[in-house]
Chains A and B, each alone.
Chain A
Amino acid sequence: GENVEQHPSTLSVQEGDSAVIKCTYSDSASNYFPWYKQELGKRPQLIIDIRSNVGEKKDQRIAVTLNKTAKHFSLHITETQPEDSAVYFCAASNIGNEKLTFGTGTRLTIIP
């Protein structure tokens, strides 16, 4: 089955700086890679996703890159703000079967 690794487990950055979280996956059949932000005790909130037919996607301060050959994808957050502090999870799925394999999570702390 799919295995998703995520690094780092914790990340602290100064407000205004950029944050990068990286994930690798093992199953070449995976073709959908979402990133979630999760507040304590709440459902994961989709912040951006990418499908395997593109290499990069951007939405304002958030971007995701995908390297299918190397089987890794990354989340980039620019101009970080205190409200970006949360736990972030990457995930991988074959959109045909819909089930997600999650990374281990990154606790991002933005230092004012």
Chain B
Amino acid sequence: GAVVSQHPSWVICKSGTSVKIECRSLDFQATTMFWYRQFPKQSLMLMATSNEGSKATYEQGVEKDKFLINHASLTLSTLTVTSAHPEDSSFYICSATFLDTIYFGEGSWLTVV
């Protein structure tokens, strides 16, 4: 079946640095991917829609200059958390749809120290 892969699975970074998370569709092309964030013991919240070849669409309250999204190819979207702070520590997860089925990446745990 279709697979969405995310990397890294977990990352620790220092405050003020940037970290990049990759989301790949391994066996299908995805013109659209979605990025969600999940704080501990909370639900998944959509951050943005990643559009291949054009700008991402951000949900209300999500800072586009802080969470940079690039979707340069049909199989890869990247989320860069810039100038990370401890409050950005969270579980980030992407999704893509293939044949009307939504597939999630494995998720990436980000800890900012």
Which A residues lie at the B interface, using CB under 8 A? Answer: 34, 41-44, 46, 89, 93, 95, 98-105
Contacts and interface: CB of A to CB of B under 8 A. Distances in A.
A104 B42 CA distance: 7
14 contacts: A41-B109, A43-B93, A89-B43, A89-B44, A98-B34, A99-B49, A100-B34, A100-B36, A100-B102, A102-B43, A102-B44, A102-B45, A104-B43, A105-B42
- Tell me the dominant secondary structure on chain A's binding face: loop
Given A44-B104, A101-B46, 17 more contacts: A34-B102, A41-B107, A41-B109, A42-B106, A43-B104, A43-B105, A89-B44, A98-B95, A98-B97, A99-B46, A100-B34, A100-B95, A102-B43, A103-B43, A104-B43, A105-B42, A105-B43
A93 B102 CA distance: 11
Interface string B92-104: 0101010010101
Nearest to A95: B100
A43 B43 contact: no
Interface residues of B, number: 20
Interface of B: 32, 34, 36, 42-46, 49, 91, 93, 95, 97, 100, 102, 104-107, 109
A21 to B, nearest CB: 13
* For the complex of A and B, 9 pairs with smallest distance between CB atoms: A43-B104, A98-B97, A102-B43, A102-B44, A104-B43, A105-B43, A43-B107, A99-B34, A99-B46
Of the candidates B36, B102, B107, the one having the most CB atoms from chain A within 10 angstroms of its own CB is B102
Contacts of A99: 34, 46, 49
A37 to B, nearest CB: 12
Nearest to B6: A43
